Amino acid sequence: MEHSEVKAIYNKYIREKNLRDTKQREFIIEEFLSSKKHITVEELHGQLEKRTGNIGIATIYRTLKVMCECGLANEIKLGREKARYEQSFGYEHHDHLICEKCGKFIEAKDERIEKLQKELVKKYGFSPRAHKLEIYGLCSACKQKRRKDG
Amino acid sequence: MEHSEVKAIYNKYIREKNLRDTKQREFIIEEFLSSKKHITVEELHGQLEKRTGNIGIATIYRTLKVMCECGLANEIKLGREKARYEQSFGYEHHDHLICEKCGKFIEAKDERIEKLQKELVKKYGFSPRAHKLEIYGLCSACKQKRRKDG
DNA sequence: CAATTACTGATAATGATTATCAATACCATT
DNA sequence: AATGGTATTGATAATCATTATCAGTAATTG
């Protein structure tokens, strides 16, 4: 669990793009990789404040953008909420079931849906680059709670 | 093509909610129903400026919110772009293929995907309220153009 | 018609994200 | 190790879609 593979990809990317290796980015990436999935910039900023002292929030935005560019993170934007970021290395594409009560993200996957999507775009001569399936509703825990609360 | 069904639903809704029937809302709804799909507030505002004189942009936001509440419109939000609204009366649920070059929205639909989504949520004990499938890429026209341009 | 209260429109406020910019840090080269 | 070129940082100003505010207006009810 040393994140060496992710860091190797990151290092390769910054070399290719003539970016520089900085302490701040290392701290941010380390913290990002060690955190819960679907973290916000604000949350990361708070965690870094405690562990490594202040790092400008703009730098966190910038670093996560780089992580997305090199395919190591995904940005998830829902409606008007602030963006969340998830690791993408070692994770396959998945859909999100999003609980509108507690905010939980459930990651789900169905090979058959993926396959049908490929058929769908083909029908329209469309070349897909990425796709996103989000299902909004109530998770089972919140459903039960609601039943009790009335 | 007089939109009478939509207006009936709208009228029923405002009566139930003790809202009032105003000229501005009538103009906005008429214009919305007569416009292209996937319109922005700004675009609607511009069109109304010409046809019916100025209507405050806040009023357009408010009216579209009401339309969404009574199930006559859907809000579509992509990333950081401004929201777009589509009519939902008389239209079935559909997915969107979104061209990242020209911005075109293609509406697509696959009953089998819908069905698999229902199975998927069941597996997780999740109660869906709504869902959204968006596929980003290049439409066929832009693909061909890109081929020519190099 | 009068009273009540929702609505309007101008505009201020909000809030996440991005741009700016002077100071600093990285890194290849000498 | 010093130097120069330039990417990076952090503070903060700017942006921009959307929402809140509020005084004046207009719809509805009795």
pLDDT of residue A38: 95
Residue A32 has pLDDT above 80, yes or no: yes
Mean pLDDT of A79-91: 93
Strand order in the sheet with A95-99: A105-108, A95-99, A127-138, B127-138, B95-99, B105-108
Residues with Cβ within 8 Å of B109's Cβ and at least 6 positions away in sequence, in order, are B92, B93, B94, B95
Residue B91 near chain A (CB below 8 Å): no
For chain B, how are helix, strand and coil distributed in percent, rounded to 5?
Answer: 50, 20, 30
**Do residue B137 and residue A123 have CB atoms under 8 angstroms apart?**
no
| Partner-chain residue, chosen from B77, B124, B140, that has the shortest CB–CB distance to A108 | B124
Nearest Cα to B128, choosing from A140, A102, A94, A135?
A135
Nearest residue, CA→C1' of C26? A20
* A42 vs B145: which has the higher pLDDT: A42
pLDDT of residue A17: 96
Domain map (residue ranges) of chain A = 4-87, 95-149
Domain B95-149 class, CATH top level: alpha beta
Residue A1 has pLDDT above 70, yes or no: no
Residues with Cβ within 8 Å of A22's Cβ and at least 6 positions away in sequence, in order, are none
Residue A102 has pLDDT above 60, yes or no: yes
User: Residues of chain B whose pLDDT is less than 50?
Assistant: none
Residues with Cβ within 8 Å of B62's Cβ and at least 6 positions away in sequence, in order, are none
For A100, the token pair is 């509108």
pLDDT band at A146 (very low <50, low <70, confident <90, very high): confident
- Tell me the per-residue pLDDT of B39-57, one tens digit each, with 9 for 90 and over: 999 999 999 999 999 999 9
Nearest residue, CA→C1' of D19? B58
pLDDT of residue A134: 96
For A75, the token pair is 């940005």
Nucleotide nearest to A19 (CA to C1'): D7
Just give the CATH number of B4-87: 1.10.10.10
pLDDT of residue A150: 55
Residue A13 has pLDDT above 70, yes or no: yes
Residue A37 phi, psi (nearest 5)? -70, 160
pLDDT of residue A2: 72
For chain A, how are helix, strand and coil distributed in percent, rounded to 5?
Answer: 50, 20, 30
In chain A the beta strands, taken as DSSP E runs, fall at 39-40, 73-76, 84-87, 95-99, 105-108, 127-138
* A80 vs A121: which has the higher pLDDT: A121
For B10, the token pair is 């709208």
Residue A81 has pLDDT above 60, yes or no: yes
Mean pLDDT of A73-89: 94
- B136 with A130: CB under 8 angstroms? yes
Residues with Cβ within 8 Å of A65's Cβ and at least 6 positions away in sequence, in order, are none
**Topology alike, domains A4-87 and A95-149:** no
Q: Please give the radius of gyration of chain B, using alpha carbons only, rounded to the nearest integer.
A: 18
**Do residue A117 and residue B135 have CB atoms under 8 angstroms apart?**
yes
